[in-house]
Structure 1
Amino acid sequence: MLHFFKNNFLIPTFVFFILLLDGSVMTMLSYSLGSEKFQISPQFTLIVITLLAVYLINDSKIFLVSIIIGFIYDAYYSSILGVNLFLFPMIVILTRAVIKKFPMNFYTIWLWILIVYTVYTHFIYALYYLIDIHSSSYYYFLSQNYIPSLLFNAFLGFIFIWLIQKLVIWIEK
């Protein structure tokens, strides 16, 4: 019974919990920073999906979870339905391709998280800029949003690499 639960429900439930935590931490950070000019955008969901794509053996499970979570993410946080529905599975596919080409250790996984975060954030910025959802300059985006968020998410990556690795080892035992 526990084996069935671990294999079929734990990962989707965990990622959904992380999705909700993502928004809660974002709200908490925006209140705690108050009148500061920069904004920190935690990307727990992006980091966790990337790490699960690295550590899980079963490709189809994380791919399906990334599609569902991408849809929920778009419906819950984003104003455009379909962006993360497309991006999260693409991140899983790219991550699976990268782990086959490069040796994966703690630092290469951490670097890959930073690369994925950078590409994801810039893609979202460019898309929102093109369809005129926001009109901030690229300099403003870099200095006020991207760099503080990159530092915060780099720290989160260090923590989540260890946590997700232990979780996946426990699930696949």
Structure 2
Amino acid sequence: MTTVSNKLSHLDDSDLPQMVDVGSKAATRRTAQAQARVTFPADVAAQLHGAGYVTPKGGVFTVAHIAGVMGAKATSQLIPLCHPLVLDKCDIDISMPGDTALITCTVSCQGRTGVEMEALTGASVAALTIYDMCKAMSHDIVISEVRLLTKTGGKSDLDYTAQVQA
């Protein structure tokens, strides 16, 4: 269980938003992995499995994969006060056992701040893309459980994978 300090790092002494100064931190290898779930109605899942995950818009998982990488790379443009990072690697893995697509985004860089937001953004954008690619089939598609699985580098390493049920 992690604790939150009383002083939020993104607020200055006057409680105004600020970008955290990471200039004095040592650059270290940073990694993070996040996951999102997209759950389909049974008939839509069956259609996707039967069609090889292709809809009239194209290959659902192929497009979602590219979108997830693009989302991870654009995180600092989307999340206020987020530092721009040069990513060394961004992998998007999408599997669909049954009615649920599981998206895992793994990101790494050499930097002064973590890549958790990039991993979460990559997984989220891939999930949103899957929804967009499939919404003509149903609007009863549910995106859920966007969560951090692991992070390494910096002050502490975290591993939540044991808490995640596939």
Q: Calculate the TM-score normalised by the size of structure 1.
A: 0.28
> Which structure is richer in relative contact order (CA contacts within 8 A, separation 6 or more)?
2
Higher strand proportion (structure 1 or 2):
2
- Rg larger for: 2
